A and B are shown apart, each in its own frame.
Chain A
Amino acid sequence: MSKAVRLKKGLDIKLFGEADQVKVEAKKPTMVALKPSDFHGLIPKVILKEGEEVKRGEVVFYDKYNKDLKFVSPVTGTISEILRGEKRRILEVRISASSTDEAVHVNPIDPSSISREEVKSTMLANGLWPFIKQRPLDKIADPSVTPKAIFISSFDSAPLAPDYDFILHGQDQFFQHGLNALAKLTDGKVNITLNGKGSPDECFVNAKNVVINKIVGKHPAGNVGTQIHHFDPIDKGEFVFTVNPQDVVTIGKFFAEGSYDPTRYVALTGSETEGRKYYKTIIGANVESIVKGNLTNDNVRVISGNALTGEAIGEKGFLGFYDAQITVLPEGDDYKFFLTDGWLAPGFDKYSSHRLFPTWLMPNKKYRLDTNLNGEERGFVVTGEMEKVLPFDILPMQLIKAIMVNDIDAMEQLGIYEIAPEDFALCEYVCTSKIAIQEKIREGLDVIEEECM
């Protein structure tokens, strides 16, 4: 059953600033936030008002279009602010944590012993369902569909990504419990993909009730999208659910202990930080508790997630719901003289997939890359560059053009059901014309959702 794949395409962007494999306790955050923007397309209905008290695991808001889909508080505290943006859209529900910790408790259940519907309703009611995302569309899974498979990637191949083997070490029991719960949701199998290079942690290797596949290659080998494409591709009308390994533990823990435990190990990474370690904190935590005092530079961008797909949140922002990594990069908002560090410079400090830069001469060098666009947006000119970093049997430029001209038939035929914006992050990185490709992919998925789903 298990399969192994070796990828030829892809790109490992070697950034400086990996986290040391040390786990430390972060300062307890005084403020946490739930950000509806972490869940694409979600319109939240908040049921608590500012000033009301909330317990850990208590519902804060639910999905306007699916009342069963609940989002719960990761801490005990008070709703301090509901931050709204344009058109009164809710950006953040901020909860100030109190010193006490009181959780909503239910009776522990063995997920193997209950029905699919019971697993589903337990997860929906207790804020666990949002951990499950679906392909196509790359958003919270639709509880009404039955996926043909569930995919869990045991590793992240993005730049400076956290090491899940390290994070999950010793969590075998909860992880397995989570897998048992997930196995109930599909008629097919739960698939775990291991990194074919290196030695994966026992919690992955010894997992039961699953299919274990192996993949070897450069980023995006660790993306579930890449893995699904190679092991069990999605046709129109099919669904695959995906879950991050750390979230499987959270799900397992809930079933085992009966309460919501939002504990999260987060890797502090990036060239502009000190104290790069794995911090134990909670979902939605104010990153100030981790980042403060660890920055080596004033002009930085603090990103929840990795450098390719994360969200800029600022030094006082909040950790994203799905993120296990904080990346701090130098902001690139300065002019670069063309001969010394601009477009005609030798470019020893630039990481490029093109041989126009000497990157390829120094395969082991680690780079301190800033956020400069390194050019200006242009029409598509260069061809063939994206194909080199996209390990899919998908024609990237043709698909992107189909999205640009809103050709739904072509989008379907060219494979839009199989992809997520994160799978095209490298295409965006290498694009000579500096086109915002992940945004385009998202636009395409939105059209598909509206017209075809």
Chain B
Amino acid sequence: MKALKKVIQNLDPKFEKGGKWEKMYPLYETLSTFLFTPKHVTQKGSHIRDGVDLKRTMFMVVLAMIPALLFGIYNTGHWHYELQSYLNPEQYGAYSDYLTGFGDKVVYGLFQVLPLVIVSYGVGLAIEFIFGFVRGHGLHEGFLVSGMLIPLTMPADVPLWMVGVATAFAVVIGKEVFGGTGMNIVNIALTARAFLFFAYPTAMSGDKVWKSGTTDVIAENGGTLPDGASGATALGDLASFVGDSPVVSGEVLAGGSTSAELIQKFEGAYDPLHAIIGMIPGSVGETSVIAILLGAALLLYTGVASWRIILSFFAGGLAFGLLMNLVGANAYMDIPAYYHLIIGGFAFGAVFMATDPVTASQTQYGKLWYGFLGGGLAVLIRVLNPAYPEGVMLSILFMNIMAPLIDHYVVQANISRRQKRFKTA
């Protein structure tokens, strides 16, 4: 350790202004400050400072996503082999059971998911460094979180070049044009996801992307999925309830089915317990509510994420789900409200996306409104506009834009409350 410290000590002057390798300073700074908290001391104001810094804070968020990542890897493997079990019943028939073929599923998931992570971090960090060089500063830690969020919000089969393009778009247009970490208006990872969603909808939605290898299976099976197999997600199925030919898990139901029949079918296909554990197809990191709540526990315990946002986001989702139940105009509106919280990216969005402090409301009261409306809007979009099955992404992006408005009203309330003190005094 001492030897390493000496190396840093000797290298430092060479990268400083006027030093031999001055131009490489941003890269050097990033690497050296990762290894050693620099010897910067307080200059003005408080002589002592809290031990916390952005590195530790951001690291905690990355750590909180690890359970979702690990589960996502396995889940990706499972659904791949689940499809294979229809194609090759002799070889993989038993693999339709969730825990059979554990090793195979892990290995497949790793090969599918890790490249996404690598591309996301690789492209994002490269761009951050370019901007760092232009601006003369090292890496700011924000992207460490975005880089992990991006792969977790993608379907496992999304082409790697698309991940790269989306990441580049999000980092440049979503963040760096505004000035970098802490300055962006909308969430970086959601910007990447929304970019792909609108630019390459076929890779991001529909019923051919959620189980890894679906297109190969279709090709091998002569243009269609094998009998009994389905490529859709719970949200995709629900969206079909609004149309003329409702589908549950690949089975097309009669157009005249009543709400109750549809919901019964749906509940049979997507057991709530399975949805909570995460044994359903979906984007890599979004399926397991348990894994996500593990991360949430860590974030709440350490105080990194706002409990106000998470709690009110779930509350908003539930409240609007119940409201939809009251309206009850179609089968989608009738599904039990709690389903909204455990399927799709709702929990993931509540815990990891909505809580991004830069893009969320910044006032304590504002956070409650922000979360509640965000959760509610997610359900509204899902139910009322089935063209966008995943309402959470759009709802959080919308609330990102609305957050300053919410804060504005909280600030105004503070101002008038403060002024009132003088009038009554």
Contacts and interface: CB of A to CB of B under 8 A. Distances in A.
User: A and B: partners?
Assistant: yes
A406 interface: no
Contacts of B33: 376
B45 A438 contact: yes
B304 A335 contact: no
Contact of B414 (A374, A376, A414, A425): A414
Contact of B39 (A327, A332, A395): A332
B282 to A, nearest CB: 29
B136 interface: no
B182 A378 contact: yes
Given A329-B47, A421-B45, A375 B357 contact: no
Interface in A9-48: 13, 15
B51 A310 contact: no
A258 interface: no
Interface in A324-383: 327, 329, 331-338, 340-344, 347, 350-357, 359, 369-376, 378-383
- Most chain B CB within 10 A, of A384, A394, A439, is at A384
A355 B44 CA distance: 26
Interface string B407-425: 1001100110111011001
Nearest to B138: A376
A384 B48 contact: no
Nearest to B408: A398
A interface, by DSSP: helix, strand, loop or mixed?
Answer: loop
Nearest to B361: A383
B45 A338 contact: no
A12 to B, nearest CB: 13
Interface in B292-325: 301-304, 306
Interface residues of A, number: 74
Interface string B62-73: 000000000000
A373 B42 contact: yes
Interface in B17-72: 33-57, 59-60
Contacts of B422: 233, 235
A424 B184 CA distance: 26
Interface stretch (A259-267, A273-281, A300-308): A300-308
B37 A374 contact: yes
Interface stretch (A69-77, A102-110, A138-146, A426-434): A426-434
- Most chain A CB within 10 A, of B55, B56, B181, B363, is at B56
Nearest to B412: A413
A168 interface: no
Contacts of A124: none
Contact of B181 (A308, A381, A393): A381
Interface of A: 13, 15, 159, 233, 235, 301, 303, 307-310, 312, 327, 329, 331-338, 340-344, 347, 350-357, 359, 369-376, 378-384, 387, 393-395, 397-398, 413-415, 421, 425, 428-434, 436-439
Interface of B: 1, 4-5, 8-9, 33-57, 59-60, 138, 140-142, 179-183, 301-304, 306, 357-358, 360, 362-364, 367, 407, 410-411, 414-415, 417-419, 421-422, 425
8 contacts: A351-B51, A355-B303, A357-B52, A373-B41, A376-B53, A384-B306, A394-B414, A394-B418
